[in-house]
Amino acid sequence: MSKTFPRREFLKSTAAMGAGALAMPAFVSRAWAASDQLNIWAYNGFVTEEFRNRFEKESGIRLNIRLVSDQGEQFNLLAAENGNFSTDIVCCAGHRFYQFVDASFLEPVDTSRLSNWSQIETEYAEADWVSRGGQRWGVPLLIASMGLLYNTETFTDTDSWAPMFAEENKGRIAYQIQDFFPIAMDYLGFDGSAARYRGNTDVAQRAVDATRDFLIGKKPLVRRFYDSGTEVQQMMVNGDIALAQSWSGAASKLILDGFPASYTIPKEGGWAFAYGFNIVRGAKNLDNAYRFLDALLASPENGAAMVRETGYISALKGTEALLSDEERKVLFLSPEHRGRLTWVNVETAPFIFDLIDKAAEEIRAA
List interacting residues with another protein (CB under 8 A): 2-7, 10, 70-76, 79-80, 82-83, 96, 99-100, 103-104, 171, 219-220, 222-225, 227, 234, 237-240, 354, 357, 360-362, 364-366
Closer to another protein by CB, 114 or 261: give it. 261
How far apart are CB 8 and another protein at their closest, in Å? 11
Closer to another protein by CB, 250 or 316: give it. 250
How far apart are CB 292 and another protein at their closest, in Å? 24
DSSP secondary structure letter of residue 130 = G
Name the 3-class secondary structure at 87: coil
The alpha carbon of residue 290 and the mean position of all alpha carbons in its chain are separated, in whole angstroms, by 20
How far apart are CB 75 and another protein at their closest, in Å? 4
How far apart are CB 204 and another protein at their closest, in Å? 17
Closer to another protein by CB, 64 or 154: give it. 154
Extended beta strands in 280-327, E state:
313-314
Which residues are paired to 73 by β-bridges? none
Closer to another protein by CB, 104 or 115: give it. 104
How far apart are CB 221 and another protein at their closest, in Å? 9
DSSP secondary structure letter of residue 29 = H
Spatial CA neighbour of 312 closest among 250, 245, 221 = 250
Closer to another protein by CB, 326 or 357: give it. 357
The four Cα atoms 168, 172, 178, 181 give a dihedral, to 10 degrees, of: -20
How far apart are CB 279 and another protein at their closest, in Å? 17
CA gap 218, 214 in Å, rounded: 6
Closer to another protein by CB, 33 or 221: give it. 221
Cβ contact 185:207 at 8 Å: yes
Cβ contact 90:43 at 8 Å: no
Q: Measured over all CA atoms, what is the biggest interatomic distance in the chain, rounded to whole angstroms? A: 92
CA gap 34, 154 in Å, rounded: 55
Residue-wise burial string across 97-125, b where 16 or more C-beta atoms lie within 10 A, e elsewhere: bbbbbeeebbbbbeeeebeebebbbeebb
How far apart are CB 185 and another protein at their closest, in Å? 19
CA gap 329, 289 in Å, rounded: 34
Closer to another protein by CB, 74 or 245: give it. 74
How far apart are CB 245 and another protein at their closest, in Å? 14
Which secondary structure element, helix H or strand E, spans residue 206, and what is its range? helix 201-217
CA gap 273, 130 in Å, rounded: 10
How far apart are CB 178 and another protein at their closest, in Å? 9
Closer to another protein by CB, 9 or 326: give it. 9
Closer to another protein by CB, 16 or 31: give it. 16
Beta-strand pair 131-132/243-247: unpaired
